[in-house]
Amino acid sequence: MLTARFFKTIFGILTLTGSLLLAACGDNTVAPSPSPTTPPATTSVSTTAAATTAPATTSAATPTGAATTTPATIPATTPTVASTTAAATPASATTPAGQSGSGKAAELLANIPNSPEYLKILSYTNYAAFRKLNNLPDGGTFQTLSRDKEAFARFMSGSRYLNPSSLMAVNYFQTLRDMAGFDLLQADYDAEAGEPPKLISLAQGNFDAAAIDKAWTAGGAVKGTVGPNTSYTIEKIDFDKELQHIYLGNLALIPVPSQKLLVYGKPPAAATAVASALPAKTPVTNNPAVKGLLDVFGDPVSLYMGSSLIGSGINIPLDVSPGAAKDALEATIKATKPVPVPLMGGYAFYQDAAGAKTYLVANYYTDPASAKAAQPVLLDRLKNGVSSRSRNPYSQYWEVASSEVVGNVVTFKLNWKQANGLAQFVLTRDFPAFLT
């Protein structure tokens, strides 16, 4: 029977599914190939001297090991103004010598095949570091987490498909583990690639295979096998099953106990393809743009990147009435200097033990010349631009601490001033570094 609760659920999904929520997770079994030995030229612009310390993901030693957080730093730039010198690529924080980087993020994303669909959105979250930052014990509950509203919001901005309660009413937070056999408070890392109708979510942690089997079997999923692992497939939605009010088929969930992984995919064939070949034979981490961004991001708390983040032009908000304000905004948009179009953009989030929040924003271009041409234009936008949504200066939300060009990548380190994060600007096409 279709209940009022069900219709409330559907309304929530239809309202939020179209959003690019900040999603992320990560653990892969193969790191991308090492960077070239010849260091690219580095262009540094307008910095503050201090590097921001951030918690990192674990080293990529083994896909089945327990989480071990270690300190990481956002790559720092020398405080020079518009000077171009032949300098080595900045260190990626915790990445061991001889490996290129982002440790666990690259390790998990190496399970994703390299295809245009998956390159639209790639994300990663280090839940082990998240729990440490927010003093959450392993095996904590949603009740414990919800006492800190900001921490709760950041947690729920993780993988929206393995943790679909982020799209729904708060009561699902309390019951998800019972209904699905797991929730992401049990995860150490997660990752996501693509968007409907084709996507993959991965999570690594101490999941209970028996609890998952009980929940998904009771929830109407059809059991099968993928190699040595059990699969749970929902081909057609049965609204009499409460689990399927949350996980709307056509989908498959495949636990991989030997690697402490959950593989979730839409359609089911996508999950099967990933679970059948861990890691992928041609992973997204071999893509030059993905590899370039992972190398500069190091080991953040979370990252979000992809080709779909890049947009053209700036739309005038619907709430701007005709008149002087609208005319001024139109004039600003027309005066915006165009920049080369990057192949991919992204950002990584860092937080230190004192609570200071920093983002590292990066764009990957086809060649170093395009990156150098884009840097001063984007730097000016980030420092001196005005939000097309709030009509407030961007400087009200962030401080540009540094910028540099390393090979094909231009980066900007932003010290964050507001409670809300960068995602709100990206979702509304109001983040100037991703607009061409």
Q: At residue 350, does pLDDT exceed 60?
A: yes
Which residue(s) pair with 360 in the sheet?
348, 413
Encode pLDDT of 192-231 as tens digits. 999 989 999 999 999 999 999 999 999 999 999 999 999 9
Report d(CA 422, CA 245) in Å as an integer.
30
Residue 157: predicted pLDDT: 58
Q: 317 or 26, which is more confident? A: 317
Q: What is the pTM of this model?
A: 0.75
Which pLDDT score, from 0 to 100, does residue 147 have?
67
Whether residue 370 is predicted with pLDDT greater than 90 in this model: the reply is yes
Q: What is the dihedral of CA 246, 250, 255, 260, to 10 degrees?
A: -70
At residue 304, the pLDDT reads 95
Could you give the percent of the chain with pLDDT greater than 90?
47
Residue 32 has pLDDT above 60, yes or no: no
Mean pLDDT rounded to a whole number for the chain: 74
pLDDT at 53 (0 to 100): 30
| Residue among 53, 157, 96, 124 nearest 413 (CA) | 53
Q: Does residue 34 register a pLDDT over 50? A: no
Tens digits of per-residue pLDDT, 177-187? 888 999 877 88
Q: Does 243 or 306 have the greater pLDDT score?
A: 306
Q: pLDDT tens digit string along 293-319?
A: 999 999 899 999 999 999 876 555 555
Flag whether pLDDT at 389 surpasses 50: yes
Asked whether the predicted pLDDT for residue 337 surpasses 90, the reply is: no
Residues 143-185 pLDDT 10s: 667 666 666 666 665 566 676 655 555 566 677 888 899 987 7
**Using CB atoms within 10 A of its CB, is residue 414 exposed (0-12), middle (13-18) or buried (19+)?**
buried
